[in-house]
Amino acid sequence: MSADILIVDDEADIRELVGGILDDEGHRTRTAGGSDEALASIEARRPQLVFLDIWLQGSRLDGLQVLDVIKEQNPEVPVVMISGHGNIETAVSAIKRGAYDFIEKPFKADRLVLVAERALEASRLKREVRELRTRSGQTSRMVGRSPIINQLRQSIERVGPTNARVLISGPSGSGKELAARALHMSSQRASGPFIVINAAAITPETMESELFGVEATDGRGRRIGALEEAHGGTLYIDEVGDMPRETQNRILRVLVDQNFQRVGGTTRVHVDVRIISSTSRDLTQEIADGHFREDLFHRLGVVPIRVPSVAERREDVPELISFFMEQISAATGLAKRVIADDAMAVLQSHDWPGNVRQLRNNVERLMILTGGDPDAAITADLLPAEIGTLVPTTPAGSGGEKLMSLSLRDAREIFEREYLVAQINRFSGNISRTAEFIGMERSALHRKLKSLGIGS
Ligand SMILES: Nc1ncnc2c1ncn2[C@@H]1O[C@H](COP(=O)(O)OP(=O)(O)OP(=O)(O)O)[C@@H](O)[C@H]1O
């Protein structure tokens, strides 16, 4: 992984040596000879790792003081101290103050490289743990074998490695964020950060500080925004159509220049970020209504990708259900259940307006709420009422969901029997009046009733 590394030392030889070794490893290094230059460089963009000389002769702040400032403003940036021979104690105290590790001069190149790799790996793992916590048990596997999901997978494989900006459209809960993660994972930025910002959940007042960060003020440290956080990786802007107009102007400029100012700041922060955005709305309509900038739309959507609704890929429902059962069972210990054919037919024919997310929630609900013998299959009558409402039922309504698991011939027979019994009852058993009402010859109705086994 190529990382952005800052090397701070008052000795030019050391700066060059460390920089040269790390550059050879494929990293991008920058250097500073004193404390103020170092802090300015960090202000210009947060590095992913800092090598910091303990003494920093001739500087306003010594190395330990610079460490304190870094840890206060950017606690997540790992700092490796460069210590002179004989001041190991100081190096140890630096670790107590938050440094990741130290290297002692003179050092060997491989030791330097090893420490750098370890520090970067530790910070990457920390970030991943944070991401996993926020996703809490969600997966990044894209389940489904329908032609439409295969097509989506192919587009992701083609577009992922290109570094192009992508605008993902699709209804709520259909898997847009999952598709964005898959794009990130198939790009060269895979080991870099994947940062999510939800434009719908952020108020217009906080949008800019969330995206660009806030410069330090008296008493408050600098806050890093999502764009800087995503340096070297991908920024996913969810529901980009909800972005306030003013922020749209500023983000457009960032897309063009790849640099911006923090709120209240004067320095320009330069970043290398791939932007993937998503929308569940029709952005062309938003443009027509004057809510969304057309030029931003074209910049964000260099490649458009559409994620289908569940209703467009009903054949994937059984696989999605068994995948979620496995997943939920592994996470919670709840027993997996078998879904009977009639219930599966209902689940497959439901429209799922909340898409995969709603399907997953319902699987969880079934696993929790469906009592009875855990080995017994879940039948259609055990499904929540609102799931079955779009399914045709028989006049008597009893076990109507079962119709969906039958052939047309068998379903028609059940329907005819219940329909005719209900009509005959309605006309108090008078076959002539029933026949007249339903539009059949009296003799034909008699034959029908006989073939269905109704009446004497
Ligand atoms: N093809 C799929 N295979 C497995 N899980 C999926 C699939 N698609 C979506 N999911 C799961 O469904 C849930 C919703 O997906 P996701 O958050 O990606 O949807 P979204 O379209 O971004 O939603 P929103 O529009 O509400 O932000 C997540 O738990 C995700 O892991």
Position in ligand 1 atom list of the atom nearest CA 356: 12
On the question of a cis peptide bond just before residue 106, with omega within 30 degrees of 0, the verdict is: yes
- Residue of 131, 145, 174 best suited for mutating to test ligand 1, as the one with most atoms within 8 Å of CB: 174
d(CA 27, CA 276): 25
Contacts of 449 (CB under 8 A, 6+ apart): 420, 431, 455
Measure CA 211 to chain center: 17
Check residues 386 and 4 and name the one with the higher pLDDT.
4
d(CA 46, CA 223): 11
d(CA 83, CA 102): 7
d(CA 11, CA 244): 48
Residues enclosing ligand 1, CB less than 6 A?
138-139, 141-144, 170, 172-178, 238, 280, 356-357, 360
Q: pTM of the full predicted structure?
A: 0.72
pLDDT, tens only, 13-45: 999 999 999 999 999 999 999 999 999 999 899
> What's the CATH architecture for 147-308?
3-Layer(aba) Sandwich (3.40)
Q: Are 455 and 428 in contact (CB under 8 A)?
A: no
- Name the amino acid, one letter, at 150: N
d(CA 430, CA 181): 67
d(CA 367, CA 334): 7
CATH 1.10.10.60 given to domain 406-452 = yes
Cα of 76 from ligand 1 centre, angstroms = 29
Name the average pLDDT for the chain. 87
Give the domain 311-384 fold.
Answer: Helicase, Ruva Protein; domain 3 (1.10.8)
d(CA 213, CA 227): 8
- Name the amino acid, one letter, at 409: R
The H or E element containing residue 425 is helix 408-426
Domain ranges of the chain: 4-124, 147-308, 311-384, 406-452
pLDDT, tens only, 246-285: 888 888 888 888 888 898 888 888 999 999 999 998 888 9
> What's the CATH architecture for 4-124?
3-Layer(aba) Sandwich (3.40)
Residue 108 three-state SS:
coil
d(CA 26, CA 29): 9
**What ipTM did this prediction achieve?**
0.97
The yes-or-no answer to whether 4-124 and 147-308 have a common fold is yes
Question: In degrees rounded to 5, what are phi and psi of residue 143?
Answer: -90, 145
Q: Residue 237 pairs with which residues in a beta bridge?
A: 197, 277
